[in-house]
Structure formats: C-alpha cells, structure tokens
Structure 1
Amino acid sequence: MPLPRRFPTIESPSLLARFPFLPQGEEWLKSLLADNNIDLDTLIEGEWVEPIRIRGVHRMLESINLTEGVSSTTRHDIHEPYGQMVEGLGFYYAMLVVCASFDERLVKRWVEGEASRADKLLGDAIDEQTFELVTHTYLSDVRVKVQSVAGVSIHAAKSSTLIYEIPMTDFIELSPRITGSYWRMVNRPITDGWVTMCATKAETSRQRLARLLKERIRQVLVERCQINMEKMDDEFAAKFADPVGKMVAQLQHSKGQEIKVTAAHEGDWPPCMTSAIADLAQGENVNHAGRRFLANMSRALGLSIDEAASFFVNAPDYNEGTTKYQLGHLYEGEYTPEKCNTLKLHARCPVSQGTISDSLCNLEWMTHPLKYVRAQQRRRARDTPPEQPLVEPQAIENSQTNGAKGEEEDNDS
C-alpha cells in the first residue's frame, strides 16, 4: 500500500540530519543547498565543501563494505548547523554518486546499508517520540499498548512494556521479504485487523517493528534512486565520473568480496583505451603516457592486475614480472586516469588525431574518459529494464539543481 498521504511534520534539523532519507527531508536538503549557495558544480568540485564529499564517501563505503551497514553514530555534531549540513548533504552526495554509477548492485548495497543503519537507530538509539514520528511516516498507522513486566531492570522494563500494533495490510506488504517464523502471519496475534509486534527473548516489540520499518525504508530508497537514474542525462551523470571511478578503485582494494561497480562491457570503454589496447596487441610500442593511462583506466574500471597485464603481452618490451610490478605500483597508488586534454597532449587521443570517429567524444562536456564510460553505461541502463519492479516513488528536484535478532535469524530473501 502507498505511504501515508500526509506525513507528520518534522521541524527538527537535527532529526532530519540523523535521518536525511525521510520524505520530510527532501525540502530540507534543497534548502541546505540554497541557503549555502551550493550548486552541483560546487558540490562536486568546491574546496570548502570537501568535508561533505568526504562524509558522503565514508557513508557509501560503510554501506557497501560493512555487513552491519552505515555506522549509527554521526561524525559531526548534528545539533549544530555545520554538522547538520555535512551529514545531510553527505547523504545527498552519496546518493547522487551511487545513482550516477547506474549499477543496480551498487544501488542495492548502498540502500541496504542505509536501511540497516536506520534499523539500529530506530531499535533503541532514539527517543520514543522520534520513533513514533518515523513510524507514522512509513506506516499507515500504529498504536501502542503498555504491558507490565516484572523481574527486569528499570531501563529494560520501560522498553519492554511498550507493545506495538500495526495494521494487517502493512504487515502483509512488508513481512514477506523477512525470513523466520516470527514473520509468518499465522504466528502473529491479530485483533480486529491489527497485528501485534510481540517482544521476543532477544528483542523488544519496538526492535521488531524497527526491523519491519527497515523494509519500507529499503523500498522507498531503491525507488528514489531508480527515479534519479531515469532523470539523469549523460552530461549530468558524467559530472560524477571521477568520484565514481575513485569509489571503484577503493572497493577494489577493500577487504571481503570484491564489488565491481562498472559493468565490464568493452562497449563502454572509450576510444583512447581501446586504441591503446589495439596498438599493443599489434606489437606497437605505445608511449609511456599511453601505458600509464591504460593501467590507471583498468584499475578505475575494476579490472584485476592480471586482466590489465594481458593488454601488454604483445608489447615489444614485454616482461611479465616487470609489467605486473609496475601495474601493482600504479594500482596501489590509486591514481585517477588522465584527462582528455592530457591524452591529446601526449598523442593518445585517436579522435583528435582523426583515426577514430566518435560523436560522444566531441561533446563539449566530454573532458574525461571516465565520463565516456558513465555516459555509455547510462545509455545501456536506460535501454535495459530493471531486474524487478520497485515501489513508492519519491520525486526529487530535477537533475539540475544487521538484520534484527529474533526467534529465528532474519535474512533478506
């Protein structure tokens, strides 16, 4: 069922900074941008907003790499205007970068991290009034009953005595994605259409409800990202080519499973990259600038060192040990691939030399090979239907401006 038609009013900037993904936070984020004179170019390149970008990157990487999701603690004082700006716009920046990647897996990873963070905060890290505000934002209704509990500490008794009930329609919609006997309808007490979120040995009624809210937050965020991606044109998405590329490079070296954000479609590769590969394959002696660019570009696209080394096998001076050593040095340095002007200066732009014709390269905003990749990915993503239908759209300004514990462990299906 859709979200409530009218959301409860939230006037606290600190609350919106803690939960910047709330529907009520969309206008607040716009006001942060306007009040601080931050346009898109400033958000991406402005020196004074570097803390915002750093916070956004941290938020992204926490979501993707840590099984428990984004840390529930903020890095800045959200009771101060500066901290509110950094936390709020850090979330906004992270969302734009994730969307500009046009990678459904990345979107889902980031959303999972944000939803898991919300689950932890809603479970026990915020006051009761705030919890009810968020609950009424995402559910059609909720009611609370007090149940006496003896033989526990004062703190535990207070939280354990509150028993939450929600409409059956909300439970039916949100519970199927959660495994465990607790979430089967036959195991939940129902009275006049209200489902009781009973406490368990491990969790309170509120923590059980927070787990359900996680599913709603996940749905809303995924759909919001999907709409953002549909609105992004090539030029807008290309502006984020550099941060997306850097994120891929960092993920490449992170612990745990490797996530390649960019799809390894050779059709996405820019002419400067494919021409360097072709020249080397034909035994031509590509200059140092061309080799360095090919190595940095391979790393940015998430290719392994072995995959990158294969491009150099037919080079006149090829030595496997030397090649892998040099590639390892460049990969470890995480250098950004050279810009178009630099490649032209070193005679590594086949389009400017007239040997290859590519209309995309001739666009005024095409200033970096990674922009070419993002533009190609966007076009492919636009022509490919999503893996599954998503719900609850949350419109934004146009493109210019661990799971909870219970009777059984909860896992996403």
Structure 2
Amino acid sequence: MVSTLLARYPFFEPAREEVAERADQLVDVVDDEVLGRAEERVTMALREGTTGDVGIPDGVPAHVELFSYPVARAVVSIVDEHPVTRRYAWAESVTARDRFRDDLSEEEKRRRSDKRDAKTAGGDGRRAVFNDVVDEFGLEVRREDDGVSMEVGDFLELASGMSDEEWKLVNREVTDGWVRVTRDDVLELSREAVRERVADGLPLFVPEEARDAVAPAVENVREVVADADITTEIDRVEETEFPPCMKTLLAEIREGEHLEHHSRFAITSFLTNIGMETDEIIETYEVNPGFGEEVTRYQTDHIRGDTGPTEYTCPSCSTMVTYGDCRNKDELCETISHPLGYYRKRLEALDDEEGDGGEDDEEGGDEDGQE
C-alpha cells in the first residue's frame, strides 16, 4: 500500500524512494491508469494551472497518483517545449500549496480539539503537518509565541522568485537574521521550493522503451499545446514580418511617445517571446523619455520568467482589441487569433519565398489561428 501522504506529495524525498523501491525503471510503473492520470496532470497544468484537487481525485488509487508524477515529468520532457515545462512546474507547485493549506487546516483543527498533538497527527502518513513541509525543504523556521520567523537566507533564496512588493526584504521585519513571516507565507515560499524541485532536471532523458510506453499521452498533450495557443520557442527577429500592432507600438517607442502599461507589456512580451535578449530590448527603450534602465530590465526579466515563476506570453488578439492596442490591421490579421500566430505565418511565407528564389507565395493553408 502506498501512503496517501506520498501520493499527495510525490516530489517529497520519501516518495522518490518509494518509487525507486517499487520499480527498477520508469516503464515498470506505466499502465493505463497511471498513464491516464499522468496525461491529466499535464493537460490540467496547461489548461487550468493546477494538476488536481486538494484531495486525490475520486477513484484514483494512491499508487496511481504517486506513479503518475514521474510519468508526467517524462511526458513533459518528451514534449520538450519551454512554456510547457514552466506551466507544468508552476501547476504542480500550486496544487502542492493548496494541499499544504488543506492539511495544515486539519492540523489546526486537531490541535484545537486536543485529540492529539501536531507531531503525532501526521504519524499515519495521511496528512502533512507544518514540520513535514519545512523539514522536507530544509527550511530554518522557528515558532514564537506571537508568530513565525524564517532564517533570512532561506527567505531570500525563495522570495527572489516572487515579484510582489510584500516579498521584498525591506518590507519585512528582520531581527538578528530572522525574518518575520506568517504560516501562510511559509506555505507560499514552500510552493516556490516545490516549483524549483519539479522543474529541476527537466527535460529528463527518457529511454526509448519508456518513450514508446508514454507515446499516446505525449501525442494528446501536443494536441492540447496546439489547441491552447501555447507557443513553441521562436528564436528569430525579423522586424519586417512583425504584426501591424507590434510594428505600431515599436514605432511609438522609437518616436518617444508614452506607452500605457498594457501597451508596454504587449510589445515587451512579444519581443521576449521571439527571442530578443533583455539588453536588446533595453536598447530599444532607451530613446523613450520614460526610459529607466533598472525598471525596464526588471520588468523585462520578469516577463521572460527569469525573476518569477511564470514566463508570460504576449496578449491574444482579443485582449489587444480590448485595450486598444490592435491597430492597423491587415488581411492576415483576419485569419489569426494571436500576434505570435501572425508572426509565424509571416516567417513561414518568408522562408517559402526564399526557398522558391523569391517567387510570390500566397498565405494559404489551414489558417485557423492556432499556434
């Protein structure tokens, strides 16, 4: 029997050990149930930003929930799309945080009822307690009469991935190397620790036998990636092929016009999505009167995902319309739903023209607006 605790937290070290004891290689744990749940983990991550409910899904045995985690990581590794990897790691961490909160609320109920102390409460392996969470990630946390404090080094390491002002050390009470936090702060920082652990090593090397075993899930996930407009990496900057909206915003920056926040986000995220480096984007903004290098660098790195858990994709066409950033539409705009879709089609057409020696090439094909 697999304990519910390990099934709920398959990234815990004891869970890894449990899997290793039960299987010599990944393919040994793959069956229809495990593969189905692994596929569900990844598709839910892409569509909903979570990998499951606070409890193990109804009808899913504990061993299936546990084994589906390494199999899901294998599926993500084979798909090998950076946005997919980021979304998956983020979703696993969000699910973990919600389960931590659920377990700790149960711990608090038990403490108040005086049925048993907190340490004993987790002994059956079915619920995590506060010490389980902090011990798993080696966090130095101490309880005090009026709250909780965390060792400043641990706080800074995990909070560096958080963008909100509340996570800046200057906004915290610090005494003798300890940072004042709440229990929920600890859980949020533990979520970041989970995200880092889940993402660690991805993409993994997946042996051929295991690739064959998980191939159906990989195919279905790739369809979800396409249907959900989750873009693959573009590492090519051809300004002449930019969609009209991005050409317009870029021109306004260079002309020194003030851009609203939503407009700055749109053009900056687009430029990061197509592979432009932060320094290049900073150079683009330098001519703008509102330019500030430190702020621009921080915002660009945050959008890129370098200083936070999420790599942002530029807004869809419908969002651009909502904020008034959809301007100078052309005929191709009528056939797509996302600026990156426009850019891809223009690059494909450009490549076709170059391949045909410059002959005219129509923008035909299946223009359904999907990435």
The reply on whether 1:83 has 2:83 as its aligned counterpart is no
- In the other structure, the counterpart of 1:60 is 42
- In the other structure, the counterpart of 2:226 is 252
Distance 1:60 1:39, change over 3 A: closer
- In the other structure, the counterpart of 1:3 is none
**TM-score with structure 1 setting the length:** 0.48
- In the other structure, the counterpart of 2:138 is 139
The reply on whether 1:190 has 2:174 as its aligned counterpart is yes
SS at match of 1:74: coil
Matched residues in 1 for 2:47 and 2:232: separation? 13
Deviations 1:2-35 (A, max 9, x none): xxxxxxxxx981111110111221111223447x
Distance 1:234 1:124, change over 3 A: closer
Point out the more displaced range, 181-190 or 64-73: 64-73
Distance 1:246 1:196, change over 3 A: same
The reply on whether 1:109 has 2:99 as its aligned counterpart is no
- 8 Å CA contact 1:188–1:196 kept in 2: the answer is yes
Aligned residues between the structures: 234
> Cα offset for 1:68?
5.2
Among 1, 7, 14, the residue aligned to 1:24: 14
Query: Percent identity of the aligned residues?
Result: 21
- More RCO (CA 8 Å, sep 6+): 1
Point out the more displaced range, 177-186 or 109-118: 177-186
Counterpart residue identity of residue 15, structure 1: L
RMSD of aligned C-alpha atoms?
Answer: 4.0
* Unaligned runs of at least 5 residues, structure 1: 1-10, 44-48, 148-162, 198-204, 266-302, 311-319, 329-413
Among 146, 153, 165, the residue aligned to 1:169: 153
SS at match of 2:61: helix
SS at match of 2:149: strand
Deviations 1:30-52 (A, max 9, x none): 23447xxx961671xxxxx3122
SS at match of 1:177: coil
The reply on whether 1:40 has 2:18 as its aligned counterpart is no
- 8 Å CA contact 2:79–2:222 kept in 1: the answer is no
SS at match of 2:13: coil
Counterpart residue identity of residue 143, structure 1: R
Deviations 1:40-84 (A, max 9, x none): 1671xxxxx31221111111111111145643232146xxxx711
* Unaligned runs of at least 5 residues, structure 2: 108-117, 119-127, 237-340, 350-362
Deviations 1:167-206 (A, max 9, x none): 1110111112212222111221222211110xxxxxxx22
- In the other structure, the counterpart of 1:178 is 162
**TM-score with structure 2 setting the length:** 0.53
- 8 Å CA contact 1:190–1:196 kept in 2: the answer is yes
> Cα offset for 1:262?
8.7
Structure 1 segment 191-210 matched on structure 2, within 5 A: 191-197=175-181, 205-210=182-187
Counterpart residue identity of residue 29, structure 1: V
Counterpart residue identity of residue 219, structure 2: G
Structure 1 segment 3-402 matched on structure 2, within 5 A: 13-33=3-23, 40=27, 43=30, 49-67=31-49, 70-76=52-58, 83-126=61-104, 127-128=106-107, 129=118, 130=128, 131-147=130-146, 163-197=147-181, 205-226=182-203, 229=204, 231-232=205-206, 237=211, 240-254=214-228, 258-260=229-231
- 8 Å CA contact 1:76–1:86 kept in 2: the answer is no
SS at match of 1:259: coil
Counterpart residue identity of residue 40, structure 1: V
Matched residues in 2 for 1:16 and 1:88: separation? 7
Counterpart residue identity of residue 184, structure 1: K
Counterpart residue identity of residue 37, structure 2: R
